[in-house]
Amino acid sequence: MATETALTNARIVLPDEVVTGTLLIRDGQIAAIDTGTARTGEDMEGDYIIPGLIELHTDHLENHYSPRPGVRWHVMSAIHAHDAQIATSGITTVFDCLRMGSDEDDGFKVGEMRFLADAIHAAGDQDRLRAEHFIHLRCEVSAPDVMESFSEFEGDGRVRLASLMDHAPGQRQFQSMEQYVFYYKTKRGLTDEQFEKFCAHRTENSQMHSARHRKLIADYCNANAIALASHDDATLDHVAEARQQGVRVAEFPTTVEAARASHDAGMKVLMGGPNIVRGGSHSGNIAASELAALGILDVISSDYVPFSMLQSLFALADGDMGISLPQAVAKVTANPADAVGFADRGRIAEGLRADLVRIRKFDDVPQVRSVWRQGRRVA
């Protein structure tokens, strides 16, 4: 027997316009979109209905699994807490970032990310999760052991995105040593001598491993239909390398030059919602709102604050950059769906998944009132 839900008196955000009307959900899909309020159903009281958000890059799970240095929380409890915050932020599809490659004393052991991924998969199989979870492998290509960790995920069908990153000093995210000093010397309390050795070690590893690991990972992903992202590109040479390796997503480019070249090459330019909400990058790089104003910001991720996706899309739509609400919504729904090849979600249209979010707007902060994934209310 077909199951139906009607959401009426809603402001429905379609790909090109906002209409007032009724949305009919049948068997987990969007069955009809009617203008007006003639159909009976659950009264949305004039709230917005938008597609469920699609999050490509969140480091948030790590905060639950390892809430303090050296502390590992109960893995299923960590996943439950992460998933609940994700879903109640309006995210119905999430790519959980798992780091590949150790980062000196700040990393995870080989095997630990595989353990975490297995727990995520088990939670999904047991119907414990509100959002649908996929895996994003964050590959520190300069790390000597990155391929050892990466190999543990070969054949895992829930790995749908991998990013190539290199955090050596003086390039990409850390083009200036001032930024690097704050991140790795001041925050870790290193002496001058310790910091000098740290930088030399990072630089040596980058020169020795990065190019080879980047190619190995790119070749595997291209052969296995895994979308590729390049992290913190800063120069035209970085963008040219990314194009040659089949990269689809330019994550957090650090210069306008690199962002524009990536966008013009057909890559989706991704920036973090916290950058928009805070008004700038915490690393001192370009502001996401600057790229939005230039028309070269395609995707917003939550990065490290799940709710920032919703808050930032309304900040863009309410601003003076000529970005409409449907255009802003696309940056957290349709555009990320396109980046990873999901044709069944990301838009409100008949026949697509009924992944939906009801939102009420209070001043500059939206509130999530309800969330549906495949027609099932999950929040």
Distance CA 25, CA 42 (A): 12
Per-residue tokens: 3: 């199951």
Distance CA 316, CA 318 (A): 5
Spell out the per-residue pLDDT of the chain, length 379, in tens: 568 999 999 999 999 999 999 999 999 999 999 997 666 889 999 999 999 999 999 988 988 999 888 899 999 999 999 999 999 999 999 999 999 987 655 568 888 999 999 999 999 999 999 999 999 999 999 889 999 999 999 999 999 999 999 876 656 555 555 666 666 666 566 777 777 777 777 778 888 899 999 999 999 999 999 999 999 898 999 999 999 999 999 999 989 999 999 999 999 999 999 999 988 776 667 899 999 999 999 999 999 999 999 999 999 999 989 999 999 999 999 999 999 999 999 999 999 999 999 999 988 899 999 999 999 999 9
Rounded CA Rg of the chain: 21
- Rounded to 10°, the helix 112-125/75-87 angle is 60
Per-residue tokens: 89: 């932020």
Nearest to 356 by CA among 110, 2, 10: 10
Per-residue tokens: 87: 């879903």
Nearest to 258 by CA among 237, 240, 241, 234: 234
**How many residues are recorded in the chain?**
379
What fold characterizes domain 52-344?
A: TIM Barrel (3.20.20)
Q: What is the DSSP letter of 52?
A: P
Q: 50, 327 in Cβ contact below 8 A? A: no
Distance CA 112, CA 159 (A): 16
Q: 306, 335 in Cβ contact below 8 A? A: no
pTM: 0.92
Write down the H helix ranges in 164-247.
177-180, 192-223, 236-244
3-state secondary structure of 269: strand
Strands 249-251 vs 268-272: parallel, antiparallel or unpaired:
parallel
Q: What is the pLDDT of residue 198?
A: 73
Write down the H helix ranges in 256-299.
256-264, 273-278, 288-293
Q: What is the pLDDT of residue 179?
A: 63
Q: What is the pLDDT of residue 272?
A: 95
